[in-house]
Amino acid sequence: MDGRVSRRIQPLGDYRAQLGETPVWCGLSRSLLWVDILGGKLLRYWPGERERTEIRTMPRFTSAVLLTSEPERFLVVSQSGISLYHYAAERFSALCDWPESDAETRPNEAAIAPDGALWFSSMDPAAQNAIGSWYRLAGGQTRPQKLLGNQWVPNTLQWWGQHVWFADSLRHRMYCASLVNECLDIAHAFDVEGIPDGSTLTQDGILINARWGDARLACCQLGDGSFRETGSVMLPVQQPSSCTFGGDTLSDLYVTSARDGLTTPSPVDGALLRITTQLTGAPARRFRL
């Protein structure tokens, strides 16, 4: 990639996740939230407070902790369902049950859409069968609507132009789709090298996609139904899982990673990474309660 991404990559803290995922920057508190899906933890990092990190225990297979329209009340996506987490009180309030048999699937990707609704995916916990789906839950609903099935490992949720972009990791494919009659209608599919995992988006339409197992971030220019890989950022972790922009100017790139499945993990595998860039992301969206 061009010189807008620094070659200095900094591992943060001592925590090493089994499966780090879904980093989200909270601009109000100037903190970063992310989860360890297999470790059952929520981690929260304040770079401006002597790089303080708090760790909380979460329900089984929590794949995301997202922002809501109320400060310090976070949306939790787990195998037990969708709930609100009151951070100060360390208390959960259930919103809806997990829409599938919890013996068969677990949540994976999750993000807030431009209209304030939650989108999330399900998958086979062993990633052996294409039994996953995409769902949407709007504020006030008690049951999510199913948007698309037959997914293997559904990942990435980014909205650009008139489309939503997502991946099926083990099909090695990125998709460009639209929401039509309460279902996802795929307009374009793009084969990619490696395993596309979570992504973030710059304000000028560059999708930065973690490539699991490739030790890199792929930088891809999005257009109106077009997709073109333009470069890579090499990383010191083998299994980057997702990324997001944070910091006061939304130009620090935070990257989660995983140790799960590695027979000889390095000292930094599973770490949260920070990369200084001259790119700019967008503020994280909030679930409309």
Between residues 43 and 8, which one has the greater pLDDT?
A: 43
Cβ atoms of 186 and 176 within 8 Å: the answer is yes
Is residue 286 in some structural domain? Answer: no
Identify the active-site residue in 36, 168, 197, 252.
Answer: 197
Asked if residue 4 has pLDDT above 80, the reply is no
122-141: average pLDDT: 96
pLDDT of residue 51: 83
For the record, the structure tokens of 201 come out as 């988006």
Contacts of 163 (CB under 8 A, 6+ apart): 176, 177, 178, 187, 224, 225
Closest of 79, 112, 113 to residue 96, by C-alpha: 79
Has residue 2 got a pLDDT over 60?
no
d(CA 272, CA 249): 19
Assigned domain for 287 exists: no
Tens-digit pLDDT profile for residues 148-195: 999 999 999 999 989 999 999 999 999 999 999 889 999 999 999 999
Chain segment 234-277, per-residue pLDDT in tens: 999 999 999 999 999 999 999 999 999 999 999 999 999 999 99
Total domain count for the chain? Answer: 1
Q: Output the pLDDT for position 5.
A: 73
Q: Is 64 a domain residue?
A: yes
Inside any domain, residue 63? yes
Q: Is residue 90 annotated as involved in ligand binding?
A: no
d(CA 41, CA 62): 8
Provide the mean pLDDT of the chain. Answer: 95
Q: What are the strands of the beta sheet with 20-26, ordered from one edge?
A: 20-26, 31-36, 41-46, 52-57
Q: Which domain holds residue 124?
A: 5-277
Q: Which amino acid is at 95?
A: L
Sheet of 145-151, strand order: 106-112, 118-123, 132-137, 145-151
Binding residue per annotation — 155?
yes
Q: Is 185 a catalytic residue?
A: no
CA of 192: how far to CAs of 211, 227, 228, 278, in Å?
A: 10, 10, 10, 26
Mean pLDDT of 120-127: 96
> In this structure, is residue 248 part of a structural domain?
yes
pLDDT tens by residue, 23-71: 999 999 999 999 999 999 999 999 988 889 999 999 999 999 999 999 9
Span 7-27, mean pLDDT?
95
> Is 282 part of a structural domain of the chain?
no
Q: Name the band, by pLDDT with cuts 50, 70 and 90, for residue 1.
A: low
| Model pLDDT, residue 92 | 98
At 222 the pLDDT is 97
Banded model confidence at residue 8, pLDDT cuts 50, 70, 90: confident
Q: Binding site annotation covers 108?
A: yes
What is the reported pTM? 0.96
Q: Which CATH number characterizes residue 41's domain?
A: 2.120.10.30
- Any binding-site annotation on 197? yes
Q: How many CA atoms lie within 13 A of 275 on its CB side?
A: 25
Question: Is 118 a domain residue?
Answer: yes
129 is in an annotated binding site: no
In a domain, 283, yes or no: no
